[in-house]
Amino acid sequence: MFLLRANCTRLKAMIDGIGIDVVDIERFKASLERTPGLVEKLFTPAEQLKPIASLAARFAAKEALAKALSNEKGLPWHEAEIVNLENGKPEFLFRGQIADLIDGAKVHLSLSHDAGIASAMVVVERN
């Protein structure tokens, strides 16, 4: 059954970008181990405390964000921090140049890691 409401305003949102990325966790771990300073370059101090599978998923999220924003030059990694809400849901915390690029858009984030693979999907939505 469908109900019709008079004088109802619906906000229309439009998907502005979608990005997805997958990371082999062991390969990512090896890259971090053989490249001094890479952990510090890619992750904020709070993110650096996470276990390797979570770091791989967060890296995938940052790559997926760059794809969703169609940013060919790359992004300043520290300006897109992934935090967890009280319910465990991951969410981006934007600063600086990336906050300017986002400009009020809603950014949806999903992370997963299983069977040696970490993945992330990002959807950027604008009104």
Distance CA 46, CA 41 (A): 13
With beta carbons less than 8 A apart as the criterion, state whether 68 and 122 touch.
Answer: yes
- Give Rg (Cα) of the chain: 17
Two tokens, residue 120: 């992330």
Q: What is the pLDDT of residue 74?
A: 76
Tens-digit pLDDT profile for residues 95-108? 999 999 899 999 99
pLDDT of 85: 96
- pLDDT at 13 (0 to 100): 75
pLDDT, position 7: 59
Q: Could you tell me how many residues make up the chain?
A: 127
CA distance from start to end of the chain: 28
Neighbouring CB atoms inside 10 A of 110's CB total: 15
pTM of structure: 0.87
User: Which residue segments constitute the domains of the chain, with CATH numbers given?
Assistant: 14-126 (3.90.470.20)
Q: Which residues contact 91 (CB under 8 A, 6 or more apart)?
A: 82, 83, 84, 85, 109
Low-confidence ranges of the chain (pLDDT < 70): 1-11, 72
pLDDT in tens, 56-66: 999 999 999 99
Counts for the chain of helices (H) and strands (E), in that order: 5, 5
